[in-house]
Amino acid sequence: MAVANALSETCHAPSQYLQTRVAHALVKRGILTQVSPFSFEFTSYGRQFVRGLLPKTEVTR
Per the model's pLDDT, the better-predicted residue between 42 and 6 turns out to be 42
The answer to whether residue 61 sits within a structural domain is no
The answer to whether residue 9 sits within a structural domain is yes
The answer to whether residue 15 sits within a structural domain is yes
The answer to whether residue 58 sits within a structural domain is no
The answer to whether residue 11 sits within a structural domain is yes
Each residue's pLDDT tens digit, 27-42:
999 999 999 887 899 9
The answer to whether residue 41 sits within a structural domain is yes
Global confidence as pTM: 0.59
Range of the domain at 7: 3-53
9, containing H or E segment: helix 3-11
The answer to whether residue 59 sits within a structural domain is no
Number of domains comprising the chain: 1
Q: Which residue, among 60, 42, 41, has the nearest Cα to 52 in the 3D structure?
A: 42
Q: Residue type for 36, please?
A: S
